[in-house]
Amino acid sequence: MRAARIVAALDAFRNAFPQVRPFYATKCNTDPGVLSVLHTTGARFEVASVEEIRILGTLGVRGQDVIFSNPVRAREQTRQASRAGVYRFAVDSREELHRVAEEAPGSCVYARLATGGRASVVPSEGKFGVDVRGAIDLLVRARDLGLVPYGITFHIGSQSLRPAALEAALGDVHTVLSRLVSAGIRLQMVDLGGGFPAAYDRPVPPLAAFGRAAAAGIAQLPYPVEVFAEPGRCIVAEAGTFRCRVIGVAQRPSGYWAHTDLGVFNGMMEVLESGGDLRYPIRDNRGSANRRRFHVTGPTCDGQDTYARDVPLSADLREGDEVLIGSAGAYTTVYASRFNGFARPRVVVT
Ligand SMILES: *Cc1c(COP(=O)(O)O)cnc(C)c1O
């Protein structure tokens, strides 16, 4: 992981979203070295669990600079987060609202809205979120339960390729804010969530296009609010490169195969999650002018371990060569298991 690249990505985000305060989505890459770079650069953090709060705490991040956007938590997670100083919690059900009122009385809640259109490479929607009426219901009830109706959030889906998705979601936010005014409730915060894309093997819409879409939607809101966002992938993906070793090359009826000590189960899981749509830039260190297409696969005996097909590599690729996988800093090491007894990758921050 290249620290300078993480800092540059955070700067790029701030330039594209000048009115927005970034809370890095911790789950994307929880390496303490990575988190430390972000903390030093003044980022705040979005978490999904108490364990993430604990790791951040060891780096000096205070609970009040953390928001808890996982909308359903085991009740002890809310209790422990609250003890650690976290006071802002996402909700998307009446049940959760009651748990927050019991375990973190008086805290601030923000409602998670569902978003409509799907134009993201790695879908993260479909599980969470209420509609406009549901959000209004939750925020009114929050007040009745002694909580602070604080804000509203959504998530357009990870690796989104559609800036207009932000404007559409902010249209729903507008409706919620306007209707709450008649209930005597003014929210303080709107949280744009994450989903902003990183560059893999093909161009993506520039961050500035997402920033403009957000600014357009924010300008329409009925009254001024603080605006947050929870970028994950676009902050850390391009800073990471996997350096893995070719353990064998095989010629089979299906083509040429390069087997590496890295695979789907110890780093390349998002290839499966995206149904192969997420294509990492892959090269090798031999650099021969003579090229040949390889299927690139991991070390396990599992047929799902193949993470790239028909990749042009050095035709004379052989055991011991290095394969370099770019844009590997997001949702890779955090998914790595020891399936089949193979090691997790070691993270080095330079
Ligand atoms: C995972 C997640 C994010 C980060 O999404 P990216 O696509 O990595 O930007 C932000 N907010 C929430 C609530 C998430 O679950």
Type of residue at 252: R
Residues 119-148: pLDDT tens digits?
677 765 578 999 999 999 999 999 999 999
Pocket test residue of 92, 112, 153, 158 for ligand 1, highest count of atoms within 8 A of CB: 158
pLDDT in tens, 185-231: 999 999 999 999 999 999 999 999 999 999 999 999 999 999 999 99
Distance 157 CA to ligand 1 centre (A): 8
Rounded Cα distance between 243 and 285, Å, is 10
Nearby residues of 189 by Cβ (< 8 Å), 6 or more positions away: 110, 150, 151, 152, 225, 226, 227, 228
For residue 46, which of 29, 60, 33 has the smallest C-alpha distance? 29
Q: Which residue has the tokens 């009651």?
A: 98
Is the pLDDT at 66 greater than 80, yes or no? yes
HSE, side-chain direction, 13 A CA sphere, residue 315 = 4
Residue 221 contacts by C-beta under 8 Å, 6 or more apart in sequence? 170, 173, 174, 177, 190
* pLDDT above 80 (res 268): yes
Q: Is 301 a catalytic residue?
A: yes
pLDDT in tens, 316-329: 999 999 999 999 99
| β-sheet bridge partners, residue 56 | none
Among 155, 190, 332, the mutation site with the greatest number of ligand 1 atoms within 8 A of its Cβ is 155
Going by C-alpha positions, the residue among 181, 112, 185 that lies closest to residue 144 is 185
- Distance in angstroms (rounded) separating the CA atoms of residues 194 and 25: 8
Distance CA 24, CA 167 (A): 21
Quick one: which of 335, 326, 331 has its CA closest to 266?
Answer: 335
- What is the C-alpha separation between 253 and 194, in angstroms, rounded? 43
* Domains in the chain with CATH codes: 3-237 (3.20.20.10), 240-341 (2.40.37.10)
Joined tokens for residue 317 = 């690729």
Residues with CB under 6 A from ligand 1: 25, 27-28, 46, 69, 124, 155, 158, 193-196, 230-233
Query: Hey, what are 203's tokens?
Result: 């161009």
Which candidate in 28, 234, 244, 301 is catalytic?
301
* pLDDT the model gives residue 123: 65
Residue 41 predicted with pLDDT over 90:
yes
Q: Which atom of ligand 1 is least distant from the CA of 159?
A: 7
- Indicate whether 118 pLDDT > 80: no
Q: Which of 8, 47, 23 is nearest to 334 (CA)?
A: 47
Q: Cα of 25 to ligand 1 centre, how many Å?
A: 6
Residue 231 CA, ligand 1 centroid: distance in Å: 6
pLDDT at 24 over 60: yes
Per-residue pLDDT tens digits for 83-116: 999 999 999 999 999 999 999 999 999 999 998 7
Q: Which of 26, 28, 269 should be mutated for ligand 1, with most atoms under 8 A from CB? A: 28
What's the whole-number average pLDDT of the chain? 96
Report the C-alpha gap between 313 and 308 in whole angstroms: 12
Atom from ligand 1 closest to the CA of residue 158? 7
For ligand 1, the distance from its centroid to the CA atom of residue 315, given in whole angstroms, is: 39
